[in-house]
Structure 1
Amino acid sequence: MKKNMGQTDKIIRVLIAVVIGVLYFTHTISGTLALILGAFAIVFLITSFLSFCPLYIPFKINTREKIN
């Protein structure tokens, strides 16, 4: 797994996951929507902590800054 996610990308994903968590725990979202968004939140957190997004590979996306 080669890291392909930059700092800004990771921060945005964590913020989205936190917002989804807050919406769930305040009962703003529930049912099927809560399950689907919860799954997305978990994936966002995992990919953020690993700095790797498998969906970036086929599209050749790399948001990580290059170090000289």
Structure 2
Amino acid sequence: MKLNIGSTDRIIRIMLGIAIGYFAYSTVIEASWVQVLLYAIAAILVVTALIGNCPLYSIFKINTCEIEK
């Protein structure tokens, strides 16, 4: 699998994922589908940061990784 997410991008994705997950957990939102959507977004951000590959980056041919593997 080709890496296309750089280290700065990974850090930002992990921080945003944690922040969005915490926001979904801590707030009292009347519509539960909003919480599910926020959890899904947070999970996608964290998982793509951990594996180092973003499918949308591949589609749009974006590469923020400094090292080509």
TM bin, normalised by shorter chain, reads 0.7 to 0.9
Residue equivalent to 1:35: 36
| Mean Cα deviation higher: 27-36 or 53-62 | 27-36
Query: How far did 1:28 drift?
Result: 4.5
Aligned structure 1 segments of 4 or more residues deviating by more than 3 angstroms: none
Does the Cα contact within 8 Å between 2:20 and 2:39 map onto a contact in 1? yes
Structure 1: gaps spanning 5 or more residues:
none
Residue equivalent to 1:52: 53
TM-score by length of 2: 0.84
Does the Cα contact within 8 Å between 2:48 and 2:54 map onto a contact in 1? yes
Query: How far did 1:33 drift?
Result: 1.2
Q: Percent identity?
A: 39
Q: Partner amino acid for 1:44?
A: L
Give the match's secondary structure for 2:55. Answer: coil
Does the Cα contact within 8 Å between 2:25 and 2:35 map onto a contact in 1? no
Residue equivalent to 2:62: 61
TM-score by length of 1: 0.85
Residue equivalent to 1:16: 16
Structure 2: gaps spanning 5 or more residues:
none
Residue equivalent to 2:3: 3
Aligned pair count? 67
